[in-house]
Structure 1
Amino acid sequence: MAEKSQKFSLMALTAMVVGSMVGAGIFNLPGRFGQATGPFGAIIAWSIAGTGMYMLARVFQALAERRPDIDSGVFAYAKAGFGDYTGFLSAFGYWLGSILGNVFYWVLIGTTLGNFFPAFAGGNTFVAITVSLIGIWAFHFMILRGVQEAAFVNFVVTIAKIVPIIVALLMMLFAFNYQQFAENFFGGVGMPDKSLFAQVRDTMLITVFVFIGIEGASVYSRYAKTRADVGTATILGFVGVTGLMLAVTMLPYANMPRAEIAELSNPSLAGALEAVVGRWGKVFISIGVLVSVLGAFLAWSLICAEVPHAAAQSRDMPSAFGRENSNKVPVVSLWVTNILVSLFVVSTYWSSDAFWFMLDMTSVTTLIPYLLVAGYGVIIARNGTGYEDVPGERRRDLIFAWIAVIYTLIMFVAAGLKYVILVAVLFAPGTLLYFWARNEQKLQYFNHKERVLFGLVVVGAVIGLIGLITGHITP
């Protein structure tokens, strides 16, 4: 009976996707896009991001259908396609990206409160960090009471946090100024002198960030009542949230000059609504941000705990991470996750720009497992695994998977070498967990190809550490 109560419906799985995606990033889209480009560049950026992420969503859907035996989501696909160490790096990278994303949520809470209480300004003051630590551990003990209970809270919060976004969009749509939108279309007054390519490139990481969570149903596939619901929930969540993000990006251009949008403090949607309806709009959105981010933190805390737990179940992480309490919560995984989140939150005290740094690091870290998932999609479409009854769908899925691969590679280029190197700095010590797991099973650590991959990780980590020490790389 306990196992049965843990099963999620299609609606609950869709809420996991929406709850994971609609968190912090969507409230900061106006300012980030305003700094980078006008509506024309934004349309191009969202066309690229929407196409790439839609293809990735279709890959997740195809893998859920063709490989129903793989029920651990993201990292398990990487392991099946590219081997044990690559699977570990995917699991660790996804876990790390989730942890950094949770840190970002608390920084955003601090910056939001900083608009009203100076002691929180920047999101990384002593007061902001103290409040964040209290919040992290309050959620921790709530989750320990049970995954199903936390998932129900997430479902309710997901509905609640959509409301202020919808209200803001309706207000801005009602005040739509066509002339202002036309003036902003190619950047308007004060647009920095840079190419259209550079404008679009400067928006790419935040588009990745706001799409993180598209795999929420896949991560929890083992809890689905019906396996087919995993793919359906992924597509439903993607379509709905994409529409919201596009509207949040474009409508502020019709209500204020692009240069003023660029100067809005975070969360910039609050300032955009304030320009339309006055001070109450900023307060209203700020409350919505707090609800949304706390809900997203809950959703990602569930995912953070699930990933190393699932990896331990498949022996890709140390067995200790597989332990559960009486409520079926991966207790060791949750404790380690929140200890790391707490340490990263404390480290933001020394960051010059904790807000954008954490957002960009989260995006790049999560791109690695996304790339490996897309690559595995290519592999199974090419060799026909799972397509015995539907051979006509192989070619379509192969095209989708290749486009997803190309898209994620382009995102790495857009991110820049700095963030890729910093990820290696975190991956190198993280590999100690891989050694631990392999030693438990008395297995060889690496084959020849994996030694080369590990060597590249170590070289990247050394370069990153030297850059941090000399000041050539700054967080």
Structure 2
Amino acid sequence: MSDPTEISSTAGTTSPSADSPRSHSVHIRTLIALIIGSTVGAGIFSLPQNVASVAGPGALLIGWVIAGVGMLSVAFVFQVLAVRRPHLDSGVYSYVRAGLGDYIGFTSAWGYWLGSVIAQVGYATLFFSTIGHYVPFFSAENRWISALSVSLLTWVIFLALTRGIRQAAFMTTATTVAKLLPIAAFILLVAFLGFSWDRFTLDFWGQDGSLGSVFDQVQGIMLFTVWVFIGVEGASVYSKQARSRNDVGRATVVGFLAVLVLLVSVSTLSYGVLTQEELAILPDNSMASVLEAVVGPWGAALISLGLCLSVLGAYVSWQMLCAEPIALMAWDGLLPRRLGAVNRAGAPWAAQLVSTAVIQLTVVIFFLNETAYVSMVQLATVLYLVPYLFSALYLVLLATRGRGVTHPHAGTRFNDSGPSVGRADNRRHLFVGLLALVYSLWLFYAADLTYVLFGALAVAPGLIPYVWTRRRARERAFNSFEWCVVAVVLAAAAYAVWGLATGALTL
């Protein structure tokens, strides 16, 4: 593969404008690698145990059909918006902001950022628990050793990221290629050496245990399937730096299809090696245990190596993506401008510093509370759903009324101007938007209410810097639609605080 990026630096720039802080120079191959690198992370290695804990093979296949169609519609939402609104350079965040107002855009970026922070801690937890299986020094009994190791890894990556996006993108591309080899080996070895059709169909609908109805099983795996797809919008986040706007849409779809094939193969084939009950009690790195059952200990070692490479690559990708929402909001005046500062290497060092510090704080909180990896997954996924939901709603508004909710910055680059769309295309876009909107709402319904409430509690503090920045700029804080969202967020956050105080809610 050729040099993954040709991103030019902005020498001497400390506070770039929102219009052109960096050049359009990221190749489509790098965008696809970024999607696969940030999507295929820790989730795929724990997927056999995660889905088997709540569903049998039949429900799993139904769930993958729903997740495949739903997440493909979400991917198409970002593809369509990239074409219909080419002047919006900040991807997920700017689409929502332009269509639904400043605060909804801010909340989407804030939720995306916090989800990325929590995902970082989840990735690192799985990384060191896997190492601990082979090196007792990092075992679960030495949680503070792992916490210190996670902290050190986080700050080392921060220092690497401050050297510029070119180095970070190269690290992402290299680890993406390296980690796909063990996953491919797992699929081939299990398919040809370990898969048993009789075992796969033994309890096809999961009725022998306590999994509940097929509907309950499908509902139970929804957030796990979304978690392993998180990152499919990665190309959209970097749309400002893509060589071609069409590359953003193509990379999103190609990356999605590649990831879908990997996820379905790994989760489905595992049921042909071990029964649902056996899969459900495996450790977090359950893919290693499945391959060990087929070829022996060397298979587990191979997958563990792949997991470490995968998590390291995803860790770099997400720590890089973490800073983008903070920097973009600073450039657009929704956060203090200083947070958008860029160094001589073209890296948004201030946003990266804030993100790294919050990751460090989250490491301490989660390790003190001994929060399980699965709980981190559920909470992060709920936060990621916020920009998915509102992006789909914006596309529906575009297709039905040609514009979003009235925006306070009419006439700026955040207005609803864009290329004209024919009736046939508009109907297709409406179908895609409605499908993604219904799917996003279904995911909130399928989620554990506890994580939805804690998600609202995580989003609520963002009101403080947002309102402060709006007041300082002497601009209106909320439009009428945003006031409704604020009321819902504050009510849910208040309930979460009550639940924490009384012990009714815990992570």
TM-score category, normalised to shorter length: over 0.9
Distance (Å, rounded) in 1 between the aligned partners of 2:366 and 2:283: 18
2:215 alignment partner AA: F
Aligned pair partner of 2:84 in 61, 66, 73: 66
Q: Distance in 1 between matches of 2:338 and 2:221?
A: 40
State the distance in 2 between where 1:398 and 1:113 align. 47
Aligned to 1:337: 355
Q: Does 1:203 align with 2:211?
A: no
**Which of 228, 241, 260 is the aligned partner of 2:278?**
260
> Does the aligned pair in 2 maintain the 1:62–1:397 contact within 8 Å?
yes
Taking the TM superposition and a 5 Å limit, the aligned residue runs for 1:318-397 are 318-384=336-402, 386=418, 388=420, 390-397=422-429
Question: Could you tell me how far 1:123 is from its partner in structure 2?
Answer: 9.1
Q: Does 1:26 align with 2:40?
A: no
| Shift of residue 23, structure 1, vs aligned partner | 0.6
How many angstroms does 1:389 deviate by? 5.0
Whichever residue aligns with residue 454 of structure 2, its letter is L
Q: Is the 8 A contact 1:318 1:436 kept in 2?
A: no
Deviation at 1:193, TM superposition (A): 4.9
The answer to whether the aligner puts 1:411 opposite 2:443 as a matched pair is: yes
> Contact conserved, 2:54 with 2:211, CA < 8 A, in 1?
no
**Residues 434-459 of structure 1: CA distance to partner in whole angstroms, max 9, x if unpaired?**
02321342223234443343233222
Q: CA deviation at 1:122?
A: 4.3
Question: What does 1:114-129 correspond to in 2, within 5 Å?
Answer: 114-122=132-140, 125-129=143-147
Deviates more, 1:284-293 or 1:317-326: 317-326
Amino acid paired to 1:185: F
Tell me the TM-score normalized by structure 1.
0.96
**1:10 aligned to 2:28?**
yes
Q: CA deviation at 1:45?
A: 0.5
Normalization by structure 2: what TM-score? 0.90
Q: CA deviation at 1:305?
A: 0.8
Q: Which segment drifts farther, 45-54 or 6-15?
A: 6-15
Secondary structure of the residue aligned to 2:334 is coil
Query: What does 1:286-325 correspond to in 2, within 5 Å?
Result: 286-325=304-343
SS at 1:202's partner residue?
helix
- Count of aligned pairs: 474
Shift in Å at residue 387 of structure 1? 5.6
Residue deviations 1:36-81, cap 9 Å, x none? Answer: 1221111000011111000011111000111000010111111111
Amino acid at match of 1:254: G
Distance 1:280 1:85, change over 3 A: same
Equivalences for 1:62-211 in 2 at 5 Å? 62-122=80-140, 125-175=143-193, 176-187=195-206, 191-211=209-229
**427-436 or 370-379: bigger deviation:** 427-436
- Cα shift at 1:351: 2.9
Shift of residue 2, structure 1, vs aligned partner: 3.7
Could you tell me how far apart the structure 2 residues matched to 1:406 and 1:387 are? 26
Q: Residues of 2 paired with 1:66 and 1:453: CA distance? A: 26
Task: Return closer, same or farther for 1:277/1:124 CA change in 2, 3 Å cut-off.
Answer: same
Q: Quick check: 2:205–2:214 contact (8 Å CA) kept in 1?
A: no
Which residue of the partner structure matches residue 239 of structure 2? 221
> Aligned with 2:284: secondary structure?
coil
Show CA shifts across 1:215-247 (max 9, x none): 000000011011110000000000000000000
* Residues 109 and 123 in structure 1, CA contact (< 8 A), matched pair in contact too: no
Corresponding position of 2:432: 400
Cα root mean square deviation, aligned = 1.7
Contact 1:38 1:187 in 2 (8 A): yes
Deviates more, 1:141-150 or 1:348-357: 348-357
User: Is 1:244 the equivalent of 2:262?
Assistant: yes
Q: Which moved more, 1:312-321 or 1:395-404?
A: 312-321
Whether the 8 Å CA contact 1:270–1:282 is kept in 2: the answer is yes
* Matches of 1:278 and 1:351, distance apart in 2: 35
Work out the percentage of aligned pairs sharing the same amino acid: 39
Q: Is the 1:319–1:437 Cα contact (8 Å) retained in structure 2?
A: no
Contact residue 24 and residue 240 of structure 2 kept, 8 A: no
Using the TM superposition, give the Cα deviation of residue 95 of structure 1 relative to its aligned residue in structure 2, in angstroms: 0.8
Show the counterpart of 2:5.
none
Matches of 1:399 and 1:473, distance apart in 2? 38
**Counterpart contact for 1:108–1:123, Cα < 8 Å:** no
CA distance in 1, matches of 2:501, 2:135: 34
Partners of 1:330 and 1:455 lie apart in 2 by 33
Which consecutive residues of structure 1, in runs of 5 or more, have no partner in the other structure? none
CA contact (8 A) 2:55 2:206 kept: yes
Q: How far off its partner does 1:416 sit? A: 2.5
In the TM superposition, residue 460 of structure 1 has moved relative to its aligned partner by 1.7
Q: 2:495 aligns with which of 451, 457, 463?
A: 463
Q: 1:123 to 1:445 in 2, by over 3 A?
A: farther
What amino acid is the match of 1:310? L
Match of 1:451 among 483, 486, 496: 483
Q: Whole-Å Cα distance in 2 between the matches of residues 118 and 466 of structure 1?
A: 40
The 2-side partners of 1:333 and 1:415 are apart by 30
C-alpha deviation, 1:470, in angstroms: 1.2
Is the 1:157–1:292 contact (alpha carbons within 8 Å) kept by the matching residues of 2? yes
Q: Which moved more, 1:217-226 or 1:445-454?
A: 445-454
1:43 equivalent in alignment to 2:75: no
Decide whether the 8 Å contact of 2:23 with 2:241 is kept in 1: no
